[in-house]
Structure 1
Amino acid sequence: MLFSIDEDAGARIVGWIMPDNPAATPHVSILIGGELRKVIPATVLRPLLREQGLHETGICGFVVDEHVVPGLPEVRDIELYDETTNIRIYRRRPDTARADQKLFRLETRVVAQAALNLPIQDLFHMTFTRLERIPEEAVKSILGIAFTPSIYCTGRIFFRTYEPLLQDRGFKSTVLLRDPLEELAEQLLVLRWAVKTPNLAYSVLNETFRPLVDSLGKAELAEMADLEAWLAGLPPFERSLLADPLSRLLTCRGSDDALEATAVENALDTLSEMDVLGLAGAEDDYWATLRAVLELDLPPLPDLSWSRQVGELRDQVAEWPAVQDLLAADLQVFADVTAVFSRVDEATEEAVEPPAQPAPAG
Structure 2
Amino acid sequence: MRFLLSADEGAIIRGWVVPDDPTAISRVYVTVEGRRVAEVSAIHADPTFIQYGWHATGLCHYEVREDHIPGLAGIERLEIFDVDTNVLVHRRVPKVGLATPKAVLINAHIRPETVIQTALFPHFQQCYFGIGRFPEEILHAIFDTDTLTSCLMVGSIILPRYEGHFVQGNAVTMMLLHDPYVEMASRLTWLRERAGMGADPNQSWRLGHLAEAAAFTADYDFTDAKSLKRLFRMLPEPAYHLLYNPLTRQLSTHVPDDRIVPGSSIIAVEVLSRIGIVGHRDYFEAFMATVFDRLEINAPIPLPLPIPNGTLELAERLRGLRFLRDWIEFDMVLSDAVRASVSKSWQD
SS at match of 1:117: helix
Q: Which residue of 2 aligns with 1:221?
A: 220
1:134-193 per-residue CA deviation (whole Å, 9 max, x = no partner) reads: 112212211223334211111111122221111111111111110111111011111111
Cα drift, residue 47 of structure 1? 1.8
Q: Which residue of 2 aligns with 1:5?
A: 5
One-letter amino acid of the counterpart of residue 221, structure 1: Y
One-letter amino acid of the counterpart of residue 337, structure 2: D
Q: Are the equivalent residues in 1 in contact too, given 2:192–2:215 (CA < 8 A)? A: no
* Aligned-partner Cα distance in 2 for 1:237–1:213: 10
One-letter amino acid of the counterpart of residue 257, structure 1: D
Q: Are the equivalent residues in 1 in contact too, given 2:197–2:211 (CA < 8 A)? A: no
Cα drift, residue 95 of structure 1? 4.7
* Aligned-partner Cα distance in 1 for 2:50–2:126: 28
Q: Are the equivalent residues in 1 in contact too, given 2:78–2:93 (CA < 8 A)? A: no
1:62-105 per-residue CA deviation (whole Å, 9 max, x = no partner) reads: 11112212222112212101122211110113355421222211
Q: How does 1:212-291 map to 2 (within 5 A)?
A: 212-217=213-218, 220-222=219-221, 224-225=223-224, 226-291=227-292
Cα drift, residue 197 of structure 1? 4.5
Q: How does 1:55-66 map to 2 (within 5 A)?
A: 55-66=55-66
Q: Which residue of 1 aligns with 2:142?
A: 142
Q: Which residue of 1 aligns with 2:90?
A: 90
Q: How does 1:157-176 map to 2 (within 5 A)?
A: 157-176=157-176
* Aligned-partner Cα distance in 2 for 1:118–1:146: 25
Change in Cα spacing, 1:89 to 1:228, as seen in structure 2 (3 Å) is farther
Q: Which residue of 2 aligns with 1:337?
A: 338
Q: Which residue of 2 aligns with 1:14?
A: 14
Q: Are the equivalent residues in 1 in contact too, given 2:222–2:314 (CA < 8 A)? A: no
Q: Are the equivalent residues in 1 in contact too, given 2:102–2:171 (CA < 8 A)? A: yes
Change in Cα spacing, 1:57 to 1:215, as seen in structure 2 (3 Å) is farther
- Report whether the alignment pairs 1:182 with 2:157: no
Change in Cα spacing, 1:318 to 1:5, as seen in structure 2 (3 Å) is same
* Aligned-partner Cα distance in 1 for 2:299–2:253: 32
Q: How does 1:322-333 map to 2 (within 5 A)?
A: 322-333=323-334
* Aligned-partner Cα distance in 1 for 2:49–2:239: 40
Q: Which residue of 1 aligns with 2:68?
A: 68
Q: Are the equivalent residues in 1 in contact too, given 2:26–2:60 (CA < 8 A)? A: yes
Cα drift, residue 207 of structure 1? 3.2
User: 90-99 or 271-280: which moved more?
Assistant: 90-99
Give the aligned CA root-mean-square deviation in angstroms.
2.4
User: 207-216 or 172-181: which moved more?
Assistant: 207-216
Change in Cα spacing, 1:92 to 1:242, as seen in structure 2 (3 Å) is same
SS at match of 1:185: helix
User: 102-111 or 266-275: which moved more?
Assistant: 266-275
* Aligned-partner Cα distance in 2 for 1:327–1:161: 22
Q: Output the TM-score relative to the length of structure 2.
A: 0.90
Change in Cα spacing, 1:206 to 1:139, as seen in structure 2 (3 Å) is farther
1:40-79 per-residue CA deviation (whole Å, 9 max, x = no partner) reads: 2233212222222222222222111122122221122121
- Report whether the alignment pairs 1:312 with 2:298: no
Uncovered stretches (5+) of structure 2, i.e. residues with no partner = none
Q: Which residue of 2 aligns with 1:80?
A: 80
Change in Cα spacing, 1:93 to 1:232, as seen in structure 2 (3 Å) is same
Q: Are the equivalent residues in 2 in contact too, given 1:27–1:42 (CA < 8 A)? A: yes
* Aligned-partner Cα distance in 2 for 1:336–1:89: 39
* Aligned-partner Cα distance in 2 for 1:276–1:206: 31
- Report whether the alignment pairs 1:26 with 2:41: no
Q: Output the TM-score relative to the length of structure 1.
A: 0.86
One-letter amino acid of the counterpart of residue 180, structure 1: P
* Aligned-partner Cα distance in 1 for 2:169–2:331: 29
Identify, as 1 or 2, the structure richer in helix.
Answer: 2
Change in Cα spacing, 1:78 to 1:189, as seen in structure 2 (3 Å) is same
One-letter amino acid of the counterpart of residue 329, structure 1: F
Cα drift, residue 132 of structure 1? 0.9
Q: Which residue of 1 aligns with 2:54?
A: 54
One-letter amino acid of the counterpart of residue 323, structure 1: L
Change in Cα spacing, 1:44 to 1:322, as seen in structure 2 (3 Å) is farther
SS at match of 2:262: coil
Cα drift, residue 237 of structure 1? 4.8
* Aligned-partner Cα distance in 1 for 2:293–2:322: 41
* Aligned-partner Cα distance in 1 for 2:57–2:217: 47
Change in Cα spacing, 1:222 to 1:177, as seen in structure 2 (3 Å) is closer
* Aligned-partner Cα distance in 2 for 1:277–1:319: 28
Give the number of equivalent residue pairs.
Answer: 343
Change in Cα spacing, 1:159 to 1:96, as seen in structure 2 (3 Å) is farther
One-letter amino acid of the counterpart of residue 118, structure 1: T
Cα drift, residue 295 of structure 1? 3.1
User: 237-246 or 122-131: which moved more?
Assistant: 237-246
Q: Are the equivalent residues in 2 in contact too, given 1:32–1:77 (CA < 8 A)? A: yes
* Aligned-partner Cα distance in 1 for 2:215–2:253: 25
